[in-house]
């Protein structure tokens, strides 16, 4: 392993600093990876284009990360970043613009420098497609949610609207129905594209559906109070009272670097990983939302840790250390 100081990798900001592992993204996956990598003796650094935390930062309240029965997303990520910083340096505002493999090294170009590593962990996350309607951004986290597994429970027994027609939308609707919500699915087309069994379950439970309908506006002052709906075939408009709007119209992985490295991805662009969080390319790992699976903090911290331990295993193999 590259010799480093105790505080998380060598601290110079010079060009071409070389690390065993470079972690891209400081959400829960990247932060967990930093902890496990350094504890295994790998030199590493976390490059984060913004500030640490990833998508969790936008959650006003997290109740499902075991050990924290209720905490603001921003606060949880502060605590986690502080924990990770005792092991690994996090370079904020450092966006990776390009990564190429040259021989057995990865060469990174960032917005402010160059780095070299022997292994790379993609923890770049994903983002939710938005409706792009008035009220959506203003009320995000105040009745507007993009994740029923994360936030559904806050709306127990309330009236909620789910927007979308795919597997995620219908699963969200069933989840919300299961905790006693009065659910209406709003879908812009006349048929769902979700799996048949989900459609049957929705129908069997008598969950209300508005087909051919779009949301024109999300209404509310402090929190969501209603949605303005419009039937795209008849033009009929309606203002429907609701306590929450779950938007499930697509999730897009931030997989540009994965593409550059040529790793295998699924049809949606999420990086394929095995149970050890290795990708199809040697010394390239992926964890967190960019690697698909359940989009939860618990999954991200596991993926990051497992990927770091896999990197340790791979970097410790003799054929590699001989070339180092």
> Is residue 298 near a copy of itself by the rule CB under 8 A?
yes
- 150 is known as an active-site residue: yes
State both tokens at 323.
């070339």
Q: Which residues have CB under 8 Å from 105's CB, separation 6+?
A: 18, 116, 117, 118
- 147 is known as an active-site residue: yes
Q: Using CB under 8 A, which residues numbered 33 to 62 contact a copy of itself?
A: 35-36, 39-42
Among 238, 241, 212, residue whose Cα is nearest residue 224: 241
> Is residue 31 near a copy of itself by the rule CB under 8 A?
yes
- 6 is known as an active-site residue: no
Options 9, 152, 165, 220; binder of a copy of itself; rule CB under 8 A? 152
Options 5, 12, 15, 67; binder of a copy of itself; rule CB under 8 A? 67
Q: Using CB under 8 A, which residues numbered 267 to 296 contact a copy of itself?
A: 275, 293-294, 296
**Coil, helix or strand at residue 61:** coil
Options 14, 50, 79, 238; binder of a copy of itself; rule CB under 8 A? 79
State both tokens at 305.
């840790």
Q: Which is nearer to a copy of itself, 232 or 298 (CB)?
A: 298
Report how far residue 249's alpha carbon sits from residue 251's, in angstroms, rounded to the nearest whole number: 7
Options 7, 13, 14, 86; binder of a copy of itself; rule CB under 8 A? 86
Report how far residue 56's alpha carbon sits from residue 49's, in angstroms, rounded to the nearest whole number: 15
Beta-sheet strands, E only, within the chain: 17-24, 44-47, 89-91, 96-102, 105-110, 114-122, 126-128, 144-145, 159-163, 182-186, 208-210, 213-220, 224-231, 237-241, 244-247, 251-253, 284-286
Which residues, in sequence order, are bridge partners of residue 247?
163
Tell me which residues are annotated as active site: 147, 150-151
Footprint on this chain of a copy of itself (rule: CB under 8 A)? 1, 28, 31-32, 35-36, 39-42, 63-69, 76, 79-80, 82-84, 86, 149, 152-153, 171, 174-175, 177-180, 197, 200-201, 204, 275, 293-294, 296, 298-299, 301-306, 309, 312-313, 316-319, 321-322
């Amino acid at each position: 392993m590259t010799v480093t100081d105790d505080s998380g990798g060598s601290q110079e900001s010079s060009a071409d600093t070389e690390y065993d592992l470079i972690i891209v993204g400081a959400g829960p996956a990247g932060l967990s990876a930093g902890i496990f990598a350094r504890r295994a003796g790998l030199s590493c650094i976390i490059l984060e284009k913004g500030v640490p935390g990833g998508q969790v930062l936008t959650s006003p309240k997290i109740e499902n990360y075991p050990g924290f029965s209720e905490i603001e997303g921003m606060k949880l990520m502060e605590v986690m970043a502080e924990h990770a910083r005792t092991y690994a340096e996090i370079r904020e505002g450092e966006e990776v613009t390009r990564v190429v493999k040259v021989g057995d090294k990865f060469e990174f170009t960032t917005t402010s420098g160059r780095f070299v590593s022997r292994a790379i962990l993609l923890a770049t996350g994903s983002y939710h497609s938005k409706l792009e309607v008035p009220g959506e951004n203003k009320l995000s986290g105040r009745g507007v949610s993009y994740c029923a597994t994360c936030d559904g429970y806050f709306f127990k027994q309330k009236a909620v609207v789910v927007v979308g027609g795919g597997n995620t939308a219908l699963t969200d609707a069933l989840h919300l129905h299961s905790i006693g919500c009065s659910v209406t699915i709003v879908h812009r087309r006349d048929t769902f594209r979700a799996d048949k069994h989900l459609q049957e379950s929705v129908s069997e439970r008598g969950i209300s559906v508005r087909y051919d309908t779009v949301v024109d506006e999300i209404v509310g002052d402090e929190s969501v109070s209603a949605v303005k709906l419009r039937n795209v075939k008849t033009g009929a408009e309606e203002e429907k009272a609701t306590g929450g709007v779950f938007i499930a119209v697509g999730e897009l992985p931030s997989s540009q670097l994965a593409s550059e490295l040529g790793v295998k991805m699924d049809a949606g662009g999420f990086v394929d990983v095995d149970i050890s969080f290795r990708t199809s390319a040697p010394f390239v790992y992926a964890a967190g939302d960019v690697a698909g699976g359940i989009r939860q903090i618990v999954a991200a911290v596991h993926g990051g840790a497992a990927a770091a331990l896999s990197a340790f295993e791979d970097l410790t193999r003799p054929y590699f250390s001989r070339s180092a």
